[in-house]
Amino acid sequence: MSSETEKSGVKRRDFLKVLGATGAGATMIGCSSERVEKLIPYFVSPDQTVPGVSTYYASTCRECAASCGIIAETRDGRTIKLEGNPDHPVNRGALCAKGQAALQGLYNPDRYRSPMIRRGGKLEKATWDEALKLFGEKLAEARRNPGGVAFVNRHQSGGFPQLLNSWLAGMGMAPAINVDPDADTTAIAANMQSYGVPWPRYDFNATRLIVSFGADFLDGWGASVPQQLDFADARARGADAPRLVYIGARRSLTGLNADEWIPAKPGSELAILQMLSGASTVEQAAQASGVDAAKLTALQAEFTAARPAMVLASGGAANGMELCLAANALNQSQGIVGTGVSVIGAIDSFAGIDPLSHVRALGQRMQSGAVTMLMVHNVDPVYLMPKASGFAAAMAKVPFKVSFSSIADETSAMADLVLPDSHSLESWGEAEPVKGTLSLQQPTMDPVFDTRPIADVLIAVSKTGTALTPLPDYRSLMISRFPGGAAGLSSALPKGIASGSAPQPVGTKTLPSPVTAANPGNGDFALIVYPSPALGFGDGANKPWLQELPDPVTKIAWQTVAEVNPATAKKLDVENGDHVIVETSAGKLSLPVYIYPGIAAGVVAVAAGRGHAESAGRYAKAGANAFNLLTYGEDRAGGIVLTSTRARVSKDGGFSRLVTTEGSSRQHGRGIAQAVMVADLGTGATHEASGAEHAAEAAPQGSVSPEQQSRAEGNKAAAGEHGAEAGHPEFPGDASHEFLPGLRSPTAKDAQGDLGGPGTKSKDKGMYDPKHWSGMANRRWAMAIDLARCTGCSACVTACYAENNIPTVGADWQGPKVLPDRTGFGANITRSREMSWIRLERYFEGGEDGGADFEARFVPMLCQHCGNAPCEPVCPVYATYHAPDGLNVQVYNRCVGTRYCSNNCPYKVRYFNWFGYGEPARPQYAFPEPLNWQLNPDVTVRGKGVMEKCTFCVQRIREAENRAALEHRGVAPDEFTVACAEACPSRAITFGDAADERWSVAKLVNDERAYHVFEELNTYTAVVYLKKVNHPSASSVASASGVSAPSGSSSVPSPAGGH
């Protein structure tokens, strides 16, 4: 907020808490205006804000170490949406799903609402005075034995670690252990050693080949947002784009974006890496990794040809440190360091993250009784440390435990005193993501609950103890060292960044000698525990948006599954959903099976992040905890080993419906996700790259025979058919006349009303007439989605939830409780009742035989805003209709819930409110207080029995029009965009007016790769997809010369064709 604070004698929160006339969060229940409603004015109007108009504050995202810049949209004192800061050097305007969901950390109903003190074995509410008094007493006691005090801190870049360590040092205590569960500390340690920076900037433009050894740089490995931006930019270069080869036992999201996947045995990556560096032979590598020698020979040849290639490797294996160091050495020897792997622009905020071995060592000290006081800040080591490490039991032995957690979790549930930290959106701070650049963090609103920023608490307590600082709070501390003081800070805040450096923390820690002798146990299977792309290692589990976000790879939400290879499943005699027992020497779990072709045979993979204890709140307990299966081991850098445990897998009796949003992983010839070979770009012959038959040339029934596949010709014919063709006979229902420029689609005036043939045309077309004074029919809002850029990360999905008040439906109290196999978390989703207006469809091409040679395609699917929409004529009450500016509109208050429209929608993008998810009085209410504070007041919260769908963010269109009208001008090209496009970390989505060539989208819809999904249905969609570009390896091009399909992706449609 602005630098003005609590001077007026009235506490700011008193007049910000209650708001004026807009009924934010009120729901659409009936039309009655009889209820008495109160209008509560401000006591003192806050400066520089206008009720009903958003204020935007620049701040810093604290959801991971990358420290992206955010813009927080705040309306009437409440933060309602986060966007990326376009001026920020890290994320350049994009924001991932985790960043979007920071709002649900802010408004989480399971947050601590006040300090808590353990009395009689139970945590009870207390006042800050009581809590701070107790804390002061215990600190004074602890100072007599400062060696017995330990502090586990949430890693944070910026000035706070320095404050914390000097606070601890002032009392003679050891420096804090800084934990970030999602950071790959092994890779960071290797980077420090090799490059001298914790996380270099990867410029994928500088290479023709990227070889990733389990480095999931698109899902959460390191700074995923800038990596996605850079990767998408590099891949958008068509023929010059780098190829990506992924080596690992499980094909992650990054693996699915790779052009080639080489399934190597877990832990054998180093053998292949040594082969590339010339330290071993192909035969040795093949033997160690179980990969076909021919494949490795081809890789080696390509690697040599592509010099310099970029090699990325992640920790997680027992030899993780060796692997990462070898990868970095290979980069150095090839000379890509300095160009592709750059220390300029390195993400510095990954510095100072301690590996989990420190926490394990702390556990051992606690076990021995040497720790008398433990302080934990926003980390959950009780969940995070595998049960085998014995951390929780050891922690119970500590006489006094203090938690600064802002939200209930397993660790704070064991605490004797909880001093809840304010959320990062409620407190001051700074990060230094790039050396010399400070990313500023400012409160975007007053605290939701009675919480205090930890820095202010430490300062307050130190005043009564040692005199650490004469300053009253952290903000004053920031000002005192900011160049230009308060004025300098005030002028830098609107931009969110400033040049400068954060003070470095004092104190050193020595790495505890790692527990390398991890006993992997025995069993036929290798167990891989991996961080869920949405939930990480558990941080996201208390946020319903992230729980409901289908995993980009498995499409599973709210549930923990055991992923096995199709061949393995056959051997075990299990189908999707059948339970298997995964048993290791550390523990066992009964999990439903998910059959995934992207898993090497003999491997079982389980995502971490779910299955928290009851104490972690209402959402986090969904699923099962994969950490319970891990035997505890560390690599040389102290990072936890995730892939070396052996497991026994056997069939269990049970069955659970998979909580999945996926119907089929195959396209069945529907041509939804199309692709083109890179060699064909620019030749006009943009024919299909593989098995998905181009829908436009498919027979009307959808069944495609192999004979019908003369693709290039078919494409041309299709284009001609839909072009503005002279002499084409007009017949009722035909919409192929009168096109707006830029989009192969009729003007809206044709889509509505005048389809009855030439004789029945009415004279008055109203607003559908392009000459009408409103000019609405001269616009056509449209969207282009570039599948060559889309990585499937699903940030758009969460952005849409945030912008459009979409309810999550998977919590256990929201589902029907009738059928015993359809209750619990995700019950609604097993009935396809998810409400996700935009969803990421993921299709596999090829590999029907269960082989590794398959391709994945991601398609964001949302309402296509058809020019000739099948949903519109079937609505008996005209609740859905076509707006003159090209929007397919759903009028909630007209809708009576017949669901005919959904039935008739070929894209299945309409969602029905089966329950009153938006109505507070209903048990299925999706926004328990204060989650409802986040609701966007510009968007109606839908009630029970109403159909809803993507609106193309009509509220943003209206807002832009209103703003333009106030300024007496028209809407400027690319002036605004929709929520999904704004968030997209790979810039795959472009929104705008396709009828106005000045908008970027108008050019994209004419791209040579452009196509409409189900074009043959004459729907004239306003969403244009640009075909994915496939980069086959040189060897597969040679072997398939003359045939357009790469080997393995057969052009014969799968037998299960149809819809």
* Identity of the residue, 23 or 684, whose beta carbon is nearer to other proteins in the bound complex: 23
Q: Is 534 in contact with 216 (CB distance < 8 Å)? A: no
* Identity of the residue, 40 or 487, whose beta carbon is nearer to other proteins in the bound complex: 40
* Identity of the residue, 10 or 301, whose beta carbon is nearer to other proteins in the bound complex: 10
* Identity of the residue, 686 or 940, whose beta carbon is nearer to other proteins in the bound complex: 940
Q: If residue 402 lies in a helix (H) or strand (E), which one and from where to where? A: strand 400-403
Is residue 28 a contact residue for other proteins (CB under 8 A)?
A: yes
Of 430-438, 709-717, 768-776, 974-982: span binding other proteins (CB under 8 A): 768-776
* Identity of the residue, 231 or 952, whose beta carbon is nearer to other proteins in the bound complex: 952
Of 7-15, 463-471, 867-875, 903-911: span binding other proteins (CB under 8 A): 7-15
* Identity of the residue, 52 or 928, whose beta carbon is nearer to other proteins in the bound complex: 52
Assign residue 25 a region: left if phi > 0, alpha if psi is -120 to 50, beta otherwise? left
Rounded to a whole number of angstroms, the minimum distance from the CB of residue 701 to other proteins is 36
Rounded to a whole number of angstroms, the minimum distance from the CB of residue 140 to other proteins is 37
What is the rounded distance in angstroms from the CA atom of residue 577 to the CA atom of residue 496? 47
Rounded to a whole number of angstroms, the minimum distance from the CB of residue 76 to other proteins is 8
Is residue 18 a contact residue for other proteins (CB under 8 A)?
A: yes
* Identity of the residue, 33 or 508, whose beta carbon is nearer to other proteins in the bound complex: 33
Q: If residue 393 lies in a helix (H) or strand (E), which one and from where to where? A: helix 391-395
Output b/e per residue, 774-799; b: 16+ Cβ within 10 A: eebbbbbbbbbbbbbbbbbbbbbbbb
Instruction: Please give the full DSSP string across 716-730, using - where no structure is assigned.
Output: HHHHHHHS--TTPPP
* Identity of the residue, 39 or 818, whose beta carbon is nearer to other proteins in the bound complex: 39
Sole binder of other proteins in the list 2, 13, 26, 490 (CB under 8 A)? 26
Hey, which residues between 36 and 55 contact other proteins (CB under 8 A)? Answer: 36-45, 50-53
DSSP 942: P
Sole binder of other proteins in the list 954, 978, 983, 1022 (CB under 8 A)? 954
Sole binder of other proteins in the list 33, 48, 499, 510 (CB under 8 A)? 33
Rounded to a whole number of angstroms, the minimum distance from the CB of residue 929 to other proteins is 18
Residues 6+ apart with CB under 8 A from 87: 69, 495, 496, 497
Q: If residue 462 lies in a helix (H) or strand (E), which one and from where to where? A: helix 454-464
Rounded to a whole number of angstroms, the minimum distance from the CB of residue 766 to other proteins is 8
Is residue 14 a contact residue for other proteins (CB under 8 A)?
A: yes
Rounded to a whole number of angstroms, the minimum distance from the CB of residue 800 to other proteins is 15
Q: Is 826 in contact with 549 (CB distance < 8 Å)? A: no
DSSP 652: E
Q: In this structure, what token pair is assigned to residue 724? A: 């503005």
DSSP 758: G
What is the rounded distance in angstroms from the CA atom of residue 730 to the CA atom of residue 1009? 29
- CA-nearest of 796, 789, 785, 786 to 986 is 789
Q: Is 358 in contact with 177 (CB distance < 8 Å)? A: yes
**Chain centroid to CA 111:** 22
Of 323-331, 334-342, 844-852, 877-885: span binding other proteins (CB under 8 A): 877-885
Residues 6+ apart with CB under 8 A from 181: 379, 380, 384, 536, 537, 538, 539
Sole binder of other proteins in the list 883, 988, 1013, 1022 (CB under 8 A)? 883
- CA-nearest of 405, 408, 394 to 154 is 405
Sole binder of other proteins in the list 504, 893, 1039, 1054 (CB under 8 A)? 893
Sole binder of other proteins in the list 59, 568, 814, 940 (CB under 8 A)? 940
What SS3 class is residue 60?
Answer: strand
Is residue 23 a contact residue for other proteins (CB under 8 A)?
A: yes
| Residue 1041 burial (CB count, 10 A) | 7
Q: Is 377 in contact with 160 (CB distance < 8 Å)? A: no
Q: In this structure, what token pair is assigned to residue 546? A: 């992230």
Rounded to a whole number of angstroms, the minimum distance from the CB of residue 15 to other proteins is 7
Residues in the chain: 1059
Is residue 239 a contact residue for other proteins (CB under 8 A)?
A: no
Alpha helices (runs of H) in 72-184, residue ranges in sequence order: 97-100, 102-106, 128-143, 160-170
Sole binder of other proteins in the list 279, 468, 767, 1052 (CB under 8 A)? 767
User: How many residues lie near other proteins (CB under 8 A)?
Assistant: 53
Task: Beginning with the edge strand found earlier in the chain, give each strand of the sheet holding 1010-1011 in spatial order.
Answer: 989-993, 781-786, 1023-1026, 1010-1011
Rounded to a whole number of angstroms, the minimum distance from the CB of residue 97 to other proteins is 25
* Identity of the residue, 13 or 831, whose beta carbon is nearer to other proteins in the bound complex: 13
Q: In this structure, what token pair is assigned to residue 12? A: 């700011």
Rounded to a whole number of angstroms, the minimum distance from the CB of residue 74 to other proteins is 14
Judged on CB neighbours under 10 Å (0-12, 13-18, 19+), 616 is buried
* Identity of the residue, 957 or 1024, whose beta carbon is nearer to other proteins in the bound complex: 957
Hey, which residues between 673 and 712 contact other proteins (CB under 8 A)? Answer: none
Angle between helices 454-464 and 474-481 (to 10 degrees): 90
Of 134-142, 345-353, 739-747, 889-897: span binding other proteins (CB under 8 A): 889-897
Rounded to a whole number of angstroms, the minimum distance from the CB of residue 426 to other proteins is 22
Is residue 15 a contact residue for other proteins (CB under 8 A)?
A: yes
* Identity of the residue, 363 or 918, whose beta carbon is nearer to other proteins in the bound complex: 918
**Chain centroid to CA 810:** 18
* Identity of the residue, 326 or 946, whose beta carbon is nearer to other proteins in the bound complex: 946
Hey, which residues between 490 and 519 contact other proteins (CB under 8 A)? Answer: none
Of 31-39, 148-156, 160-168, 842-850: span binding other proteins (CB under 8 A): 31-39
Radius of gyration of the chain (CA): 29
* Identity of the residue, 378 or 955, whose beta carbon is nearer to other proteins in the bound complex: 955
- CA-nearest of 237, 400, 206 to 310 is 206
Rounded to a whole number of angstroms, the minimum distance from the CB of residue 769 to other proteins is 13
Rounded to a whole number of angstroms, the minimum distance from the CB of residue 774 to other proteins is 5
Q: Is 6 in contact with 12 (CB distance < 8 Å)? A: yes
> Within 13 Å of residue 1059, how many CA atoms lie on the same side as its CB?
11
Judge if the upstream peptide bond of residue 447 is cis by omega within 30 degrees of 0: no
Pairing of strands 562-564, 497-499: unpaired
Sole binder of other proteins in the list 5, 21, 307, 516 (CB under 8 A)? 21
Is residue 921 a contact residue for other proteins (CB under 8 A)?
A: no
Is residue 970 a contact residue for other proteins (CB under 8 A)?
A: no
Hey, which residues between 53 and 82 contact other proteins (CB under 8 A)? Answer: 53
Q: Is 567 in contact with 636 (CB distance < 8 Å)? A: no
Is residue 939 a contact residue for other proteins (CB under 8 A)?
A: yes
Rounded to a whole number of angstroms, the minimum distance from the CB of residue 37 to other proteins is 4
Is residue 958 a contact residue for other proteins (CB under 8 A)?
A: yes
Rounded to a whole number of angstroms, the minimum distance from the CB of residue 983 to other proteins is 20
Is residue 926 a contact residue for other proteins (CB under 8 A)?
A: no
What is the rounded distance in angstroms from the CA atom of residue 647 to the CA atom of residue 631? 10
Is residue 964 a contact residue for other proteins (CB under 8 A)?
A: no
* Identity of the residue, 329 or 767, whose beta carbon is nearer to other proteins in the bound complex: 767
Hey, which residues between 247 and 276 contact other proteins (CB under 8 A)? Answer: none
Pairing of strands 400-403, 373-377: parallel
Residues 6+ apart with CB under 8 A from 125: 113, 114, 115, 116
Rounded to a whole number of angstroms, the minimum distance from the CB of residue 901 to other proteins is 15
**Binding footprint of other proteins on the chain (CB under 8 A):** 10, 14-15, 18, 20-23, 26-28, 31-34, 36-45, 50-53, 767, 773-774, 776, 881, 883-884, 887, 889, 891-894, 938-941, 951, 954-955, 958, 962, 965-966
